[in-house]
Amino acid sequence: MENYDIISLFNHSSSISQRKENTLSEKRRDNKNRILRENELQKPDGRYEYRYVGADGVRRSVYSWRLTTTDKTPSGKRDKPPLRRMEEEITKDLMDGLAAQADDLTVYDLCEKYFLTKINVTKNTQAQYKTVLNVLRKHPFGKRKIKTVRTMEAKEFLIRLQQDEHRGYSSIHNIRGVLRPAFQMATENDLIRKNPFEFQLADTLINDSVKRQAVTKKQMRQFLAFVRQEAPEYWEAIYILFHTGLRISEFCGLTLSDLDLRNKKLKVDYQLQRDCDGTLYVIDGNLKESTKTPEGVRTLPLTDEVVNAFKAVIKRRECKIEPSVDGYTGFIWLNPRARKGLRPMVGMDWEHIFKRLVNKYNSIYRVQLPTITPHVCRHTYSTIMAVTGVSPKTLQYLMGHSDISVTLNVYTHIGFEDAANELKKLHTGTYGF
C-alpha cells in the first residue's frame, strides 16, 4: 500500500471476521443493554474495544473498561478515558491528517479512502468498488488533484469513458456511484468547496442500457409448456418464479422452514448470494446489520398451484447430508451436479438454465421467444398483477419494495395489449394468470 494516510471519516474499518460475527447476532449491545456503534464491541471480560485504521494504514484497537463518562472502572483495573472519548480524539487526529494532505490528494486516493469507510456492504459491492479503483488507477483522471476537478472536467471524464473507451451506461453509472459520494465526503469535510459530480447522469450521457422487459402471458405459457415437456425437473421452480415475483437471491435462499404449505404462506427473509470468488453467503433481512431494506422481509400468500408446485419439489428432494451456508441449512433448491459436492443453487445456476432453455426453444420454433431470465419472471409477475387490478400498495408489499415508485415505474411494463385487455375486463370480469 502506498505511503499516505488511510482515513475512515465516519465508520473506520473493522475486520471481515468481525463483520461476520456481527451479522450472526441480532443486536450489538453491551452487558448494560446499550447499543454499540459500528466498530465498537465488548470483550467477554467486560472491556470495550474500538477498531480503526490508523494514519499509516494499519488496523489498530484501543481498549477501556468504560464506554461513557458515567461508567465506573471496575475495582483493581487500570483507569483509562472512556472508549467514546478516545474515539473522538482518534477521529480528530485522522481528520487533521486528512486536511493536511488535501492539497496533494488525488481522485484515486480520495476514492480509496471512501472505499475504506464502506465496511458494512456486501462482498459483491466491495468487488464493484475495487473495479472502480482499478479504472481510476489506470486512467489519467485518477491522478488529478481533487482541488482541480470542476464539474466540466467530471463530465468530460465520463463522456470519454463512453465515447473513447466504449463503456456502457450502466458501467459508467457504477463508476459515478463511487465518485459522487467520495467527493461529497471531501466537501463535507471542507477539503473542496463543491462536489463536481452533482449532476444528472442522464443529461450528460446517452443511456444505451437495455431495459428489462416483461413477457406477455402468452409467451409465459408457451415457455412453461415447453419446459414441462423438455426439462420437467425445472418446471415447478420456473412456475414458482413466474407466480411469486421473488428475487432470484430470495428464491435461492428459501429453506424448508420458510414454507407453511398448510396455511399457504411463504416467509421471505433470507437471500443467498455468491461472492465473486465463488463463496456462498446468506444475507438475513431480519438483522440490524443487514444491507437490505426491511421491506424485503415479508410473508407471501400462495395460490393452490404454487403450493402444489412446492409439494412436488419437496417430494422428490433427496439430501442425505444438508449443505450449510453461514449456519443456514434446509435449502430447497440444490445442485447435485456441483463439482465440489452438493450445494444450494445460486442465481448464476438459474441464469444458465433459463438461457439454455430459451435457446433450445428458439432453435425449434419459428416464432422466437425474447430473452427470459429469473428477473424477467419477476417483472412479468409485477406487470400481470398490476394490470389485473392489484392495488399499488399491495403490489409494493408483494414485491418487497421500499419505494412505491420502483414498483410502478421499473417493474411494470404496460402496453397497448394490456390496456386493451383492461377494457375487456370491464365487460367480462376476467382476471388472473
State yes or no: is 274 an active-site residue. Answer: no
Of 100, 131, 152, the position where a domain reaches its end is 100
Position 289 in a domain: yes
- CATH number of the domain encompassing residue 151: 1.10.150
pLDDT at 260 > cutoff 90: yes
Residue 120 pLDDT: 61
- Annotated catalytic residue 243: no
pLDDT at 89: 82
3-class DSSP assignment, residue 51: strand
Answer whether residue 111 is part of any domain: no
Q: Give a yes or no: residue 113 inside a domain.
A: no
Q: Is residue 106 part of a domain?
A: no
Sequential DSSP letters for 54-93: -TTS-EEEEEES-SSTTS-PPTTSPP---HHHHHHHHHHH
Overall domain count for the chain: 3
Are residues 338 and 424 both part of a single domain?
A: yes
182 and 68 within one domain? no
Backbone angles phi, psi at 53, to 5 degrees: -105, 125
Percent of the chain at pLDDT exceeding 70: 77
Write down the catalytic residue from 34, 77, 267, 375. Answer: 375
Q: Binning pLDDT at 50, 70 and 90, where does residue 170 land?
A: confident
Cβ contact 50:87 at 8 Å? yes
- Which triple of cell numbers denotes residue 116? 475504506
pLDDT at 400 over 50: yes
Residue 67 lies in a domain: yes
Residue 6 pLDDT greater than 60, yes or no: no
C-alpha 194/C-alpha 197 separation (Å) is 9
Q: Is pLDDT of 115 > 60?
A: yes
Whether 143 sits among the annotated catalytic residues: the reply is: no
171 and 320 inside one domain: no
Mean pLDDT along residues 406-414: 62
Higher pLDDT, 427 or 408: 408
pLDDT given at position 283: 83
Q: Kindly state the cell numbers that stand for 186.
A: 471531501
Give the residue numbers spanning the domain of 364.
217-428
Closest by CA to 197, choosing from 132, 131, 260, 288, is 132
Higher-pLDDT residue of 143 and 285 is 143
Looking at 12, 274, 401, 413, which residue is catalytic? 401
Q: Which residue is catalytic, options 243, 292, 343, 413? A: 292
Strongest mean pLDDT among 26-35, 179-188, 237-246? 237-246
The pLDDT assigned to 119 comes to 62
The active-site residue, picked from 28, 343, 378, 413, is 378
Q: How far apart are CA 369 and CA 353, in angstroms?
A: 15
| Pair 128, 272 in one domain | no
On whether both 167 and 237 belong to a single domain, the answer is: no
- Same domain? 343 vs 390: yes
Are residues 249 and 303 located together in one domain of the fold? Answer: yes
Rounded Cα distance, 105 and 6, in Å: 11
Active site residue: 247, 274, 343, 413, which one? Answer: 247
247 is catalytic: yes
Q: What pLDDT, on the 0 to 100 scale, is given for residue 237?
A: 97
Assign residue 70 the CATH number of its domain. Answer: 3.30.160.60
Closest C-alpha to 275, from 114, 117, 130, 59: 130
Identify the residue whose cell numbers are 417493474. 411
How much is the average pLDDT of 259-269? Answer: 95
For cell 472512556, the residue is 82
One domain, residues 150 and 277 = no
- The answer to whether residue 10 is domain-embedded is no
Cα-based torsion angle of the residue sequence 401, 405, 406, 409 in order, rounded to the nearest 10 degrees: 150
Dihedral sign for Cα 266, 271, 274, 276, please.
Answer: positive
* pLDDT top residue among 401 and 218: 218
How sure is the predictor about 433, in pLDDT bands with cuts at 50, 70 and 90? low
Q: Hey, how many other C-beta atoms are within 10 angstroms of the C-beta on 380?
A: 26
Q: Which of 203, 233, 253 lies at the terminal end of a domain, its last residue? A: 203
**pLDDT for res 26:** 42
Listed in sequence order, the DSSP H helices in 290-415 are 304-316, 347-364, 374-387, 392-399, 404-409
Q: Does the pLDDT at position 427 exceed 50?
A: yes
Range 232-252 average pLDDT: 96
State percent of the chain over pLDDT 90. 45
72 and 126 housed in the same domain: no
Q: Check pLDDT > 60 for residue 5.
A: no
Active site residue 139: no
Mean pLDDT, the chain, integer: 82
**375 part of the active site:** yes
Residues 82 and 161 in one domain: no
CATH of the domain at 234: 1.10.443.10
Q: How far apart are CA 291 and CA 414, in angstroms?
A: 31
Name the strand (E) or helix (H) holding 265: strand 265-268
6 within a domain of the structure (yes/no): no
**Confidence band for 55, pLDDT divided at 50, 70 and 90:** low
Looking at residue 182, what is its pLDDT?
92
Question: What is the pLDDT, as a whole number, of residue 191?
Answer: 83
Task: Tell me: do 160 and 63 sit in the same domain.
Answer: no
Distance (Å) of CA 418 to CA 56, 312, 391, 392, 414: 61, 33, 16, 17, 6
For residues 101 and 44, the model is more confident at 44
pLDDT above 70 (res 386):
yes
Residue in 4, 239, 411, 413 annotated catalytic: 411
Asked if 289 and 274 touch (Cβ cutoff 8 Å), the reply is no
* pLDDT score for 339: 60
Q: Give the end of a domain, one of 66, 100, 134.
A: 100
> Do 351 and 401 have their domain in common?
yes
Q: Per the domain annotation, does 160 fall within a domain?
A: yes
pTM above 0.85, yes or no: no
Pairwise CA distance, residues 309 & 211, whole Å: 30
